[in-house]
Amino acid sequence: MLGQIISDELLELEQQNPGAYALISEVFSQKGQWNKSANIRNRAKESGLRKLPGSSLIESVEQASNLRLRGA
């Protein structure tokens, strides 16, 4: 239940971040929730999002924070 709430919030905030979809999909697969994992991956695919190999959600958030700080 909590995982679903967190994933919904994260995807709301990071709709264009493929790393968010990959992270959430991995969490669901680690819990054995294969249908939810596949659903998240399908949503990313349908949106045309592709995670770059070797990139992570944390790196993306850090880059966005740096851009905001420089622009302020």
Q: Report the pLDDT value the prediction gives residue 55, as an integer from 0 to 100.
A: 60
User: For residue 9, with 0-12 CB atoms within 10 Å meaning exposed, 13-18 middle and 19 or more buried, which class applies?
Assistant: exposed
pLDDT value at 10 more than 70: yes
As a whole number of angstroms, the distance between CA 41 and CA 49 comes to 10
Quick: pLDDT tens for 23-43.
889 889 988 999 999 999 999
Please state the domain extents for the chain: 2-71
As a whole number of angstroms, the distance between CA 51 and CA 56 comes to 8
Q: Report the pLDDT value the prediction gives residue 62, as an integer from 0 to 100.
A: 55
Q: Which structure tokens are listed for 31? A: 């819990």
User: How far is residue 62 CA from its own chain's centroid?
Assistant: 14
What pTM did the predictor assign? 0.67
Quick: pLDDT tens for 48-66.
887 767 666 555 555 555 4
